Structure formats: C-alpha cells, structure tokens
Amino acid sequence: MSAQEEPANIGKVLSFLREWDRGDRTVRSRMLNTFLAQNTGRTFYELELEFAQVASLFLARLTTWMRLTYMFGTSLGLQLKAIGIFLSASSHDQYLMEFLEDGGVLTLLEIVNHSQCKEEEKAEALRLLLTVANAGRKYKEIICESHGVKVIAECLAKSNTDEIQETAWAVLESLIHGNPKYQNQIYRSLIALMMCTSPKAQQLVLHTLHTVQSKMKTAHHSIVEPLLNMLRSLHLVVQDEAINLILDLKCYDVRPMLLKGLVALLRPAKEEVQQHQNMEESEIIETTGSLPVFVQQAAAAKTIRLLAEDNQEVCRELVSLGVIQHLLHAMGNREHYDAQIQASLALEHFVHSYPVIEEHVQRVIGSTLFAAFMHNADTLYIHIDETQAEILLTNKLNITEV
C-alpha cells in the first residue's frame, strides 16, 4: 500500500466502524451482507489490507454484538457467517486467539445449547467450533475446558436434523485426535451417548467409539450394556457398527463380560418377551414382524459366530459359557426366522471345530434334522416343525469343555 493510499483507507475503515457503532439492527444486517459478499474466502493478509491493519476492531465488535444478542436471534445467522470469515482466514491464527479471548467459544456453545436458537444457527455455530477444534491441540483443550464435549454430545443426541448431527459428530471426531488430556472424558461421553434414541446419532457415536477405543489401552466396563442393547436396533447400519465394536473389544479386559452377555441374549427371559409384547411397540412389530428382543437374539448369534471364527481362544471361552445349549434354544424360535438362521450358522462353526460337540448336537436334534443341518445350516429353519422346535427350546445340553 502506498503512502497516499494508506490514510484514505484508514479513513474509510474508521467511517465504516462509526456507521456500525451508530447503526441499528437493520443497518448492521445490511453491512454484514455487504461484508459477506465482498470478503468470503479471503486470507488474513487480504482482510488486513481491506481493513487497514485494524480488522480485529471489527471482529471484536462482531463478537460482542453476538454475545449480547444471540438469545434474541438478532441477525445471528449473519453474525456467525461473518465471524466464520475471520476464523477461517488462512495463514494466521491471530483472529482465532482474539475470538477466544473475547469469550467466543463459550458463546458458540451457548448458542448450540440454547433451545430458542434456530437449527441453521446451531449448525453454523457447530461449524465454527469445528474450525476452532481443527486449529490444534490448545484449541481443542479450550473447547473441552468450557464443557464443550457435554454440550456437543447432547446436541448430537437430541437433534433430529442430519446436518446438525453430522456437524456435531465431526466436532467430536476432531476433539478425539491430538487431544490426550481429554481423551477419557470424550470416551465416557460417547458411551453415555449410546443411550440416545436417534438411529443416525447411534450410528455416528458407534463409529466414533470405534476410533476412540483403538487409542485406549483398556475399555470401560460401562460400555458393555449399552453396546449389547444396540443389537436390538432395527437399522442394520447401527447393528453392523455395534458388531464391529464388539469384535474390537475382544482384545480388551471387558471380553468376559461381553461374551457372557452375548450368550445370555440367545435365551431371552419369558418375562422380557412378555414385557415387550405389552409395551407400545405394536407398530414396530407390525412393520418388522419381530420383537426387538428377537432381533437382538439374532444379532447376538451372528456376533458369536464372527467372534468364534476369528479367534480359537474366544471360541473355547464361548463353549465354557454354555453357548451350544443357548444356540440350540435360539434355533427353536419359530417366531423369528433370522434368529434361527444366525444360530444355525454359529452352531455350524462349533460343530465343524469340535467332534465332541457334533456328537452331542446330533443326539439332541436327531439324525434326520442333523443331516439337514449339515447339508445346509442356513435353511434348517424350514425343516423345524413345532415338536422339534419344542425339543430345541427345552434342551438341557451341557457342554462346557472341548
């Protein structure tokens, strides 16, 4: 900038700031629209040139106005987008530090948490938090110190819009990486989030837990129960994420709890089945033809097969927990064919692995049904009549060693 240009430019900027200071909501909204149109995508150096090296004065005004008015929704969307121009300006983090020093992160979190803010405003605030988190470890720690993990996790759990859920998830994903000080806090928050009811949120949480768990030396025992409950999901993508996480956890200290829980799911208690039949799930049952406990039973059998196929030691542990008796029980569930199919496929692996199991199973189900089982396990359910189903359901086979 030449010596003659500089004074004129400073005068222009000072005039702009005076107009801002004196302007009402309408004036400021017009100024923000102009600012967005002229400066979107500009770098730090371009913004400094445009504002005669005092762009920070405008950023400070923006941050203050947002902090004072966000509860009333006064041009909040415009404010957030204008601040985004500063925070995303490449090559420098001066604006980022100034924004944080003015309480910017706390204000963004309050917007995300404020029930009166519009969904698009919350999404914009989350995008700014993502920009902050992506700037490096110290910025991630500032978000976490401000109780950001709890706010973002609750937003993910309660929101019904894909945009907000995916952006909140992206912020949590960013906070995981390169942030060892708060890794445990994020991990515990994700475990708690598994209790949410949104299938989309459940899928995202399970996927993120998969990433976090790989960084952890141990697994917290509180992960087991909600993870097993995820197997009830009628959404296959959620089920698949849950099964993948269970497969990961076989290498951690919660393995005995997980295996015991999976085997127990093969035999849902009569009281639990009746309870689900009496609950307000008639629409689900009409749509799917299944009770959630039977969906869970089938998913547990599938998971057991995948675990047993993957690891011989795990296979023996499952046998010691009485898995054969429970798989035979699941094969007799004529109310849910997928449970019969998955249990048959799992049992097939154990039968092929251990001759002693083959002998016992053949004795329990009879030579005719056993021949059909050995010929094609996944179509065995077609051949099971009511009498044979009762034999399977009430079997007392006790194999705990091979």
Q: Give me the tens of pLDDT residue by residue for the chain, a chain 402 residues long.
A: 444 445 448 889 999 999 999 999 999 999 999 999 999 999 999 999 999 899 999 999 999 999 999 999 889 999 999 999 999 987 678 999 999 999 999 999 999 999 899 999 999 999 999 999 999 999 999 999 999 999 999 999 999 899 999 999 999 999 999 999 999 999 999 999 999 999 999 999 999 999 999 889 999 999 999 999 999 999 999 999 999 999 999 999 999 999 999 999 999 987 666 665 555 455 555 545 578 999 999 999 999 999 999 999 999 999 999 999 999 999 999 999 999 999 999 999 999 999 999 999 999 999 999 999 999 999 999 999 999 999 999 999 999 887
Alpha-helical regions (H) of 51-103: 55-69, 76-87, 94-101
Q: Report CA 36 to chain centroid distance, whole Å.
A: 34
Q: 285-295 b/e with 16+ CB inside 10 Å = b?
A: eeeeebbbbbb
Q: Report CA 357 to chain centroid distance, whole Å.
A: 39
CA 66 to CA 83: how far, in whole Å? 10
pTM: 0.86
**375 burial level (CB within 10 Å; 0-12, 13-18, 19+):** exposed
3-state secondary structure of 214: coil
